[in-house]
Amino acid sequence: CELCNSIARMYCDSDQASLCWDCDAKVHTANFLVAKHSRTLLCHACQSPTPWTASGPNLRPTVSVCDTCVHTDNNINKDDDDDEDDDLNSEDHNDEDSDDDDSDGD
């Protein structure tokens, strides 16, 4: 936050300032003109702008994630799921091999 050095959660283009929730509320409740400022929610993970925008004097704390972080997280989760599938397939294959070994030994 440019006013108190806390983590910024909103960006106000009119003020050209990144603000935390508390400072955003103080600034944008000052009068009806500044309450009209459109603000962009910053990514919870990387502080980049998100597609989420709003205006008004009483915006409530909200969490949003930018497109880049969403895609990065989805790719990480997809890779983790693929690794789990590979592990499961390896276990199934090993079980089949051990069954074959038992039938050959009889």
pLDDT exceeds cutoff 90 at 57: no
pLDDT in the model for residue 60: 85
* Residues 13/24, Cβ–Cβ less than 8 Å: no
pLDDT digits (tens, 9 = 90+) for 9-44: 999 999 999 999 999 999 999 999 999 999 999 999
Structure-token match 């004097």, residue found = 57
pLDDT exceeds cutoff 70 at 100: no
pLDDT digits (tens, 9 = 90+) for 62-90: 888 998 988 876 555 555 555 554 555 54
Collapsing DSSP states into helix, strand and coil, what is residue 56?
coil
pLDDT in the model for residue 15: 94
Residue type, 19: L
CA angle 79, 83, 85 (to 5 degrees): 115
* Residues 55/41, Cβ–Cβ less than 8 Å: no
